[in-house]
Chain A
């Protein structure tokens, strides 16, 4: 169908440095912070694949200020955080700008997040014109400027994400209840180290064994028997996970005596994969390649199901969401055609959380996030009609929004949560 471009073309592109194959040996690749423990594993895989990769952990006002200087007011907060983190790191003197590159994922969806790369390039051109910007994507964008990984590497990365999700989930369900402060964190380090070794020696494919190891390790942490309020975190992918983006939301919830419930990163990957299958079904779009996505989906989903089964069998932890269940949850609220940004995944996660006993939810979104108008705030009313007790607070994250404001709103949600719990307990005692 595609008509050939025969008209004359005006080129307004600005030149930018390209990541050449030789740079693999000479350059350190920086990646922004998002999910520290997942990224620890992912970076490990990339290093084994021959890239010198480093995750940034710098934060603070200077990071945000750097971002503010280079990012348009109306562009989303994640872009600002990421760019701020790169520039702040490069200016710290720790990295040689002649031998450093930066890496960002790119989804290629209809959300402006696909444009992070040009935004980062623009910022780099102003401050560090020699630093190449690399893309990690599955849509064939940025050919020649993306990470070259083998199929085997991708398989490893997938395992790393599953393990990351498992560690995160177990940790979140242990930390609030630990008897000895710091014991859950210790086990987390121990698990991640063990998994890294497994990724090195090929044992990572022994799924059952690795999962059992993590489950057992966390189960060894002594816990109190108390009951805490569970608070789910959903929203735009970056502010949902990144402590820099969400002002350490998980820590705040812990300090308020809650158990943060954070849905798995793999769900987002599966969401991206299945959207390609959906597109082919809905619009016959990309029909030629959809089967590949269908196979990838089948494989990943199979692994996820296995992981869930193992968790259920062990019995100690509330397992991850089953992705097919998430899809059915989405269907109750919104059409799976809503695929830009985090799209239908947000209401799906909210519904799934509610159905698995986490009725209190923080929907974290960057200020003015376009997909979130629809799938975040826009979907809350529909959710309320389905689940009477769902208790959602939408929190905007922005460089200038203050913590007082954000925390006050979350506190309101928590007050309602406590009240709901009292009511439920009262109902229970009435019945008995």
Chain B
């Protein structure tokens, strides 16, 4: 009797199964390999020996390729393996979805066979779920159980684990329930699969769900079933799901020759290690070098004072970070009375309250807390809940702390759990701030998650790296990529030590070259202070020193610098006459409790998810809102926001009713149509059409068109376009009009006047990927709006059906241009007024410089409102670029929208009280060029540059920190000047 052996070596697990000739499963197993791939496979093979001594064997799986090749064992690609098994076991399947550790796959069986895997940028997989569970500090099983009790689902960015994390963290900090978050995470995975993998094809019919996560997680199953609207008959969850691929491999093994199990094992046991990995130098040459290093860093420390005996004044600093909470109590001469560092585990408020209780019990009557200050993500909540005197933006807090350790400091880098923050310091004021973004976010928590995945504590894991002989090179882009680099390194036989050291150096390189964008280490500065919990890891610190070639200062309280800085801030800002802090008192604290509740704010169209904390004394704290309205506060004096003005203006353009209209034309309000709306509305109305605009952008609208998105890594405005098209189709307009424009209008300030490729040709992609669009209902002429003759000709052809005369079209074209000019003039006039008013009131103005379509609130996520709430007037780049001089830049200046940025920057650089914040869509390749240029224009004239990357993430927490840091820095600069 022949036996067929299938081995599936995935990124996190090994699955083995044995089939008999009839295809019955005799044995199957599913174990985590903790990166010890070969050992694990060998151990598993020992277990199958009871089924015979000879097998037909075949390996599959992403991590199996290497050992199959070198062990000379047949290999089958895993999707192919699954496909084989589907045809054998579930021949009536229409679609199969398989989620593995780090890959997601989809197989369309009927209606044109197609097999797909996720692209390189997609984290919604098993490892992603693990990572999220770690973040919530629960097991995956607990997460699953919680998800079933969820009451609501929050939108969480599904594209990548790093993004999702930045959506989840604030939810946690606001006290959203873990049950709801768990369900939201599963929903994010589903959305990722539907948009990222199906790409325009609908998942329907009988659907087979495969892979470990879909087998073990009921919450995930439910989310899939609900989203795809599948009843129990059409959603199939086979018992064999976890080891399905290995069964597929076993089926393929039937074609291979039979071999003795002993031989297979012997060959695997001596699989040579690969040579395909690059290794770096060890961190330390020897023990002596290490000891000297440790001794040097011991010198940067604070003194302690005994909280049990000290009597006198003290100041409290609280750093309520995204993943950790830190507290520090100091004496007026900066001795530490008390400090605390703890992971949040999602309950920062409880932690701080507990610690305060402890502090009160320790200080007795001897110590008086004169002032307290809080910084970090949880600042607002802490201030409200615990009546903390001051709040300070975390960049400021860190800067204050660093100054204490080195008054000459000219560069500070802080690597925390979630963030990398870097400041350049000039004249004892922050000169520029750099924060990490999604694609460069390899930070501390990554090492932590990774250590856990290896089954280790972080301390142990990073210690292993210190004396690694051959640290591996793991790349430096983002954690998702690092994950697969690690996978490759493991495949090639790298040791845990080498990987640990490699991770440390990756994080450092990422910070230096990607976040700071330093070309040479000398750019950083001469006096560098490093801080943040991640730098307590000696391997990271050492990597940093090696990479920069400089000896840096790492205070022993590196992880507590935010809290220390906050305490210093409290000390500096507490007035002489104030003798005691307004902090909750000991008796108040005893009675302190709160309840948390989440609701959707109905204050405006933003529909923010807000969280309401109700305290025992009846006070309330509301978070998650974008404007004051949600917070239950009176709306601040109507500050001008040109972004909002533009958006409302555009939607008010079309006439309600065009009598005797020839037909209704639908205009999707996004990309090139956004700014050209005045043009096309007037054009079509002049031609006698009724104009209908697509629905206003929202997350729901995006989901409406998500299934037709072809390229996952395109920018969010482009992806939103699919929803706009769907909304017009649903409205039943006669046709949708969206032209292809290689060239935008020439504004005579650049070498050429292109649109970006995505804006220019998105119609092609829409037409190719939306089955509802036809030649008839989707009109997309190629035009250059600068040229009347060809534009009229092209429109005449495109609208042939309506038998318009060329002269009418010509008239309408001219009318359209006039309308566009009127619109621009109105925007410019508004802008001038805002500037003049602000000048009179001495108010700060920020020019949000991006693309015209960034005015869509679903794309900018209400940054304008946020700035208003900080007391700032908001302008847009198109209102001011005309006031800027012509500019000559070093890069090729050839895009209409982008040329405006340079001129707007030129204008801003000459204005007092006006600053520029550049909005950049995630994935915008052209802005990779413009950002450096805009920065250099501003900085060459002594202005601060701030960039905000926006994507589908609906979380302004980071943006808020950025903007507040900018304001704090502007203020400091003003004071110095």
Q: Are A and B part of the same complex?
A: yes
Cβ-based interface call for A13 (8 A)? yes
> A70 — nearest CB in chain B belongs to which residue?
B519
Encode contact with A along B916-932: 1 for CB under 8 Å, 0 otherwise.
00000001111111011
With A and B bound together, what is the CA distance between A14 and B933 in angstroms? 11
Could you tell me if B764 and A379 are in contact, using CB atoms closer than 8 angstroms?
A: yes
Given known contacts A3-B748, A7-B886, A398-B477, is B487 in contact with A404 (CB within 8 Å)?
yes
Given known contacts A408-B65, A412-B117, is B928 in contact with A112 (CB within 8 Å)?
yes
> A279 — nearest CB in chain B belongs to which residue?
B742
Among B77, B514, B519, B746, residue most surrounded by chain A Cβ atoms (within 10 Å)? B77
Could you tell me if A402 and B484 are in contact, using CB atoms closer than 8 angstroms?
A: yes
Given known contacts A74-B924, A121-B890, is B768 in contact with A379 (CB within 8 Å)?
yes
With A and B bound together, what is the CA distance between A376 and B513 in angstroms? 30
Could you tell me if B925 and A73 are in contact, using CB atoms closer than 8 angstroms?
A: no
> B903 — nearest CB in chain A belongs to which residue?
A10
Complex contacts, A16 vs chain B, CB 8 Å:
890
Encode contact with B along A331-346: 1 for CB under 8 Å, 0 otherwise.
0011101111101000
With A and B bound together, what is the CA distance between A376 and B923 in angstroms? 16
Cβ-based interface call for A141 (8 A)? yes
> B517 — nearest CB in chain A belongs to which residue?
A72
Cβ-based interface call for B473 (8 A)? yes
Could you tell me if B764 and A415 are in contact, using CB atoms closer than 8 angstroms?
A: no
With A and B bound together, what is the CA distance between A5 and B478 in angstroms? 44
With A and B bound together, what is the CA distance between A335 and B491 in angstroms? 45
With A and B bound together, what is the CA distance between A415 and B115 in angstroms? 10
Query: Separation in Å of the A142 CB from the closest CB of chain B?
Result: 9
Cβ-based interface call for B237 (8 A)? no
Could you tell me if A373 and B765 are in contact, using CB atoms closer than 8 angstroms?
A: yes
Please report the total number of A residues contacting B with Cβ < 8 Å. 92
With A and B bound together, what is the CA distance between A407 and B937 in angstroms? 43
With A and B bound together, what is the CA distance between A8 and B926 in angstroms? 27
Encode contact with B along A91-128: 1 for CB under 8 Å, 0 otherwise.
00000000000000000111110110111011100110
Could you tell me if A110 and B895 are in contact, using CB atoms closer than 8 angstroms?
A: yes
Encode contact with B along A57-68: 1 for CB under 8 Å, 0 otherwise.
000110001001
Complex contacts, B65 vs chain A, CB 8 Å:
404, 407-408, 411
Cβ-based interface call for B638 (8 A)? no
Which of B451-459, B628-636, B709-717 touches A? B709-717
Indicate the size class of the contact surface on chain B: 35 or more
> A282 — nearest CB in chain B belongs to which residue?
B782
Could you tell me if A110 and B77 are in contact, using CB atoms closer than 8 angstroms?
A: no
> A8 — nearest CB in chain B belongs to which residue?
B885
Cβ-based interface call for A150 (8 A)? no
Could you tell me if B765 and A378 are in contact, using CB atoms closer than 8 angstroms?
A: yes
Complex contacts, B63 vs chain A, CB 8 Å:
404
Which of B262-270, B679-687, B753-761 touches A? B753-761
> A340 — nearest CB in chain B belongs to which residue?
B757
Complex contacts, A401 vs chain B, CB 8 Å:
120, 481, 484
Given known contacts A378-B764, A415-B77, is B117 in contact with A368 (CB within 8 Å)?
no
Complex contacts, A65 vs chain B, CB 8 Å:
473
In the complex, which residues 108-162 of chain B have their Cβ closer than 8 Å to any Cβ of chain A?
A: 112-115, 117, 119-121
Could you tell me if B925 and A381 are in contact, using CB atoms closer than 8 angstroms?
A: no
Given known contacts A285-B787, A402-B488, A404-B487, is B439 in contact with A73 (CB within 8 Å)?
yes
User: B940's contact among A8, A12, A403, by CB below 8 Å, is which?
Assistant: A12
With A and B bound together, what is the CA distance between A373 and B121 in angstroms? 14
Could you tell me if B754 and A400 are in contact, using CB atoms closer than 8 angstroms?
A: no
Given known contacts A114-B894, A141-B892, A284-B787, is B937 in contact with A382 (CB within 8 Å)?
no
Query: Separation in Å of the B713 CB from the closest CB of chain A?
Result: 5
Given known contacts A75-B929, A367-B120, A415-B76, is B487 in contact with A402 (CB within 8 Å)?
yes
Given known contacts A398-B477, A400-B476, is B768 in contact with A378 (CB within 8 Å)?
yes
Cβ-based interface call for A277 (8 A)? no
With A and B bound together, what is the CA distance between A425 and B891 in angstroms? 55
User: B923's contact among A74, A285, A400, by CB below 8 Å, is which?
Assistant: A74
Cβ-based interface call for B735 (8 A)? no
Complex contacts, B537 vs chain A, CB 8 Å:
none
Among B482, B768, B926, B940, residue most surrounded by chain A Cβ atoms (within 10 Å)? B768
Could you tell me if A110 and B485 are in contact, using CB atoms closer than 8 angstroms?
A: no
Encode contact with B along A382-409: 1 for CB under 8 Å, 0 otherwise.
1010001000001010111111111111
In the complex, which residues 11-32 of chain A have their Cβ closer than 8 Å to any Cβ of chain B?
A: 11-14, 16
- Between A and B, 7 residue pairs with Cβ closer than 8 Å are A10-B888, A12-B902, A127-B519, A370-B925, A381-B201, A381-B768, A408-B62
A interface residues, Cβ below 8 angstroms from B: 1-3, 5, 7-14, 16, 60-61, 65, 68-70, 72-76, 108-112, 114-115, 117-119, 121-123, 126-127, 141, 279, 282-285, 333-335, 337-341, 343, 367-382, 384, 388, 394, 396, 398-409, 411-412, 414-416, 419
Additional pairs, 6, CB under 8 Å, beyond known A115-B929, A119-B929: A7-B885, A73-B928, A110-B894, A122-B932, A335-B764, A399-B475
B interface residues, Cβ below 8 angstroms from A: 62-63, 65-66, 76-80, 112-115, 117, 119-121, 199-201, 276, 278, 439-440, 473, 475-478, 481-482, 484-485, 487-488, 491, 509, 513-514, 517, 519-520, 710-711, 713-714, 718, 740, 742-743, 746, 748-749, 752, 754-758, 760-762, 764-765, 767-769, 782-784, 786-787, 789-790, 794, 884-892, 894-895, 902, 906, 923-929, 931-933, 936-937, 940
